[in-house]
A and B are shown apart, each in its own frame.
Chain A
Amino acid sequence: MDLDVSSGEIVSILGPNGAGKTTFLRQLTTELRPTAGSIHVFGVDAVREPHAAKESMGITPQEAGLFDALTVREHLALFGRLKGLRAHQCGPEADRLLDELNLREAASRRVGTLSGGQRRRILIGLALLGRPPLLILDEPTTGLDPASRRDVWGVLRGAVSAGASIVLSTHYMEEAERLSDRIAIVSDGRVVACGSVTELMARIRESYRVTWVDCGGERHVTRWETFADAQASIARRGLSEYSIARASLEDVYFELVGARYPDVEIEEAVAQ
């Protein structure tokens, strides 16, 4: 894995299960010692000086537990202290995050009584405590409803506007597409492609997809390099009902990780 993240940038890590996303993030957060290579966080060698590296990180692990007996505000205040905030800074910082993460109404409730989505937002809040310059978020919005997910995106964009850099892993193509400056696609422990959405899209040669259903009810998909080629194929077949679409990030993803939806593969074979 070879990846540089610039200041104020959001980089998403996309990849199938077992590709190495979480392992990479665990190494980045110093939880897992790499067998080889180096990791530098703002000039600090994260392998040799994990404690110093963590000073500038806010981390949301994929699976982390909260303390059911503590309230939301107590979590933010106590973990704020552990992140090095002074006692008088913890209250205002907790208030800021309660508002940003839409947790104000639950502030005095014990975490044990909250929903999974609210608990996930608290974990993101803990990472944001003290406005760390680097946020590392492992599938931060998994389990959130669409509205909460958008709220979190807003909060992350706000953190970036304030100068933070973000590295996040996600399974949601939409999240990667909407949120990231660059996307790193990972497969078998390697970065197989890294770039902006536009740059990644340019990697697909046949980027127009024509879909139609024949009189027998069977669905067909064909791919074309240009819009004109796609239109010509429609005319040749005399199709009256069809859809024509540009390749998506999902197409790029499946192209690069070497796997496609099996039904699409079959339909393409039938079409050709």
Chain B
Amino acid sequence: MTRRLSDAVCVFRIHLARLRAETGPFLIAGIVFPCVMYMFATAVASPGGNGPAPELRIRFLAGSIVFSLSMTAISWLGYLLLENRFTGRLKLFATLPLASSSYVFGIVAFALVQAVLGTTSLLVVARVFGVEPSVAGVGAAARLAAVILLTVLCVSGISVVIAARARSFSEGSLTTDALGAGLVFVAPVYYSTHALPRALQLAAYVLPTTYAADGVRTLLGGGTAVNRELLALSVMTVVTLGVGFRVMRWQEE
């Protein structure tokens, strides 16, 4: 167990070096893009220029945080996993006495660091835009951290599956890009469920971004009742990571 943990830390450190070298793309994917989406949603919701109501601002902020998490843990992480696989770096790990779970956890830890950076940056930027999130104490902050953790784990599992199964780099990266944005726009993240067509309303029930957005919005709005969201995200995390570990193998048949 200690060895697996230490291996995961090494995999994490190897990938952290990328963040050092590729800060620009990370900033665009994790922070700038979601910030622009916040501004876009705000502008659309207040054509008169007075700005949307506070609860709408919180919804847009929560949506942008989820957008950031989705971009980080699906598009960016998926790209990383695909790059490792199709440039022979994965082979380098496969030659080592390393458990595939250590590799996956190391990579997911890297995505978590990015998620924390992205979320914190968005919360800071939000104040510039006049949004005042009111997290109700330490307990609510811990729940917010739990929602973010589970969201990242859950969507990272999807990235692992895509990266392990893609037949080519372009196929995989197109899929992760489509899902990274698609999971946000198909789910009721920037708008309420009722605004969606009937078919998408049903689909929204099985999308992790629905529960992530609900949870973040409730907690940023001063609420604490996110048990339903935490439960749904936990179940989805077990499913996606479970499948991810199953398809992520060193050995080919």
**B91 neighbours in A (Cβ, 8 Å):** 31, 61, 63-65
Stretch at the interface among B6-14, B43-51, B120-128, B131-139: B6-14
Shortest Cβ gap from B81 to chain A (Å): 13
Q: Flag whether A193 is at the interface (Cβ < 8 A).
A: no
Shortest Cβ gap from A58 to chain B (Å): 8
Contacts A31-B252, A69-B22; A61 near B17 (Cβ below 8 A): no
Quick one: closest B residue to A54, CB to CB? B97
Stretch at the interface among A77-85, A219-227, A234-242, A249-257: A77-85
Is the pair B21, A54 in contact by a Cβ cutoff of 8 Å?
Answer: no
Q: Flag whether A33 is at the interface (Cβ < 8 A).
A: yes
Contacts A31-B252, A78-B10; A65 near B97 (Cβ below 8 A): no
Give the CA-CA distance A70 to B88 in the complex, in Å: 16
0 or 1 for each of A27-44: is its CB under 8 Å from B? (1 = yes)? 001111100000000000
Contacts A78-B13, A84-B3; A64 near B95 (Cβ below 8 A): yes
Is the pair A33, B95 in contact by a Cβ cutoff of 8 Å?
Answer: no
Give the CA-CA distance A82 to B250 in the complex, in Å: 15
Shortest Cβ gap from B33 to chain A (Å): 22
**A195 neighbours in B (Cβ, 8 Å):** none
B interface secondary structure, majority: helix
Q: By CB atoms of chain B within 10 A, which of A31, A61, A65, A82 has the most? A: A82
Q: Can you add 7 more A-B contacts, CB < 8 Å, to A31-B250, A65-B89, A82-B10?
A: A52-B97, A61-B92, A61-B95, A65-B91, A67-B14, A67-B17, A70-B14
Q: Nearest 4 A-B pairs (CB), nearest first?
A: A69-B21, A65-B88, A59-B95, A65-B87
Is the pair A84, B88 in contact by a Cβ cutoff of 8 Å?
Answer: no
Please tell me which one of the listed residues A55, A84, A126 contacts residue B92 in the complex, with CB atoms under 8 A apart.
Answer: A126
Q: Flag whether A66 is at the interface (Cβ < 8 A).
A: yes
Q: Flag whether A74 is at the interface (Cβ < 8 A).
A: yes
**A126 neighbours in B (Cβ, 8 Å):** 92
Quick one: closest B residue to A51, CB to CB? B97
Quick one: closest A residue to B22, CB to CB? A69
Shortest Cβ gap from A51 to chain B (Å): 5
Q: Flag whether B94 is at the interface (Cβ < 8 A).
A: yes
Give the CA-CA distance A219 to B65 in the complex, in Å: 77
Give the CA-CA distance A55 to B7 in the complex, in Å: 14
Band of interface residues on A: 20 to 34
Give the CA-CA distance A177 to B89 in the complex, in Å: 31
Give the CA-CA distance A139 to B84 in the complex, in Å: 21
**A68 neighbours in B (Cβ, 8 Å):** 21
Those of A7-62 within 8 Å (CB) of chain B: 29-33, 50-52, 54-55, 57, 59-61
Give the CA-CA distance A229 to B91 in the complex, in Å: 54
Quick one: closest A residue to B92, CB to CB? A64
Q: By CB atoms of chain B within 10 A, which of A55, A57, A67, A123 has the most? A: A67
Interface size on B, residues (CB 8 A): 29
Is the pair A82, B96 in contact by a Cβ cutoff of 8 Å?
Answer: yes
Shortest Cβ gap from B123 to chain A (Å): 28
Chain B residues at the A interface, C-beta cutoff of 8 Å: 3, 6-7, 10-11, 13-14, 17-18, 20-22, 84, 87-89, 91-99, 250-253
**A84 neighbours in B (Cβ, 8 Å):** 3, 97
Quick one: closest B residue to A56, CB to CB? B97
Give the CA-CA distance A163 to B77 in the complex, in Å: 42
Is the pair B6, A63 in contact by a Cβ cutoff of 8 Å?
Answer: no
Quick one: closest B residue to A126, CB to CB? B92
Is the pair B17, A70 in contact by a Cβ cutoff of 8 Å?
Answer: yes
Is the pair B95, A54 in contact by a Cβ cutoff of 8 Å?
Answer: yes
Is the pair B10, A67 in contact by a Cβ cutoff of 8 Å?
Answer: no
Contacts A66-B89, A67-B17, A82-B10; A51 near B251 (Cβ below 8 A): no
Q: By CB atoms of chain A within 10 A, which of B7, B18, B89, B96 has the most? A: B96
Quick one: closest B residue to A136, CB to CB? B95
Is the pair A65, B92 in contact by a Cβ cutoff of 8 Å?
Answer: yes
Shortest Cβ gap from A177 to chain B (Å): 27
Give 14 pairs: A residue, B residue, CB < 8 Å, sorted on A.
Answer: A33-B251, A50-B251, A51-B97, A54-B95, A57-B95, A61-B88, A64-B89, A64-B91, A65-B89, A67-B18, A69-B18, A74-B17, A81-B7, A127-B95
Give the CA-CA distance A82 to B10 in the complex, in Å: 7
Give the CA-CA distance A60 to B88 in the complex, in Å: 12
Is the pair A32, B96 in contact by a Cβ cutoff of 8 Å?
Answer: no
**B87 neighbours in A (Cβ, 8 Å):** 65
Is the pair A31, B251 in contact by a Cβ cutoff of 8 Å?
Answer: yes
Quick one: closest B residue to A47, CB to CB? B251
**B97 neighbours in A (Cβ, 8 Å):** 51-52, 54-55, 83-84
Shortest Cβ gap from B14 to chain A (Å): 5
Shortest Cβ gap from B183 to chain A (Å): 28
Quick one: closest A residue to B15, CB to CB? A67
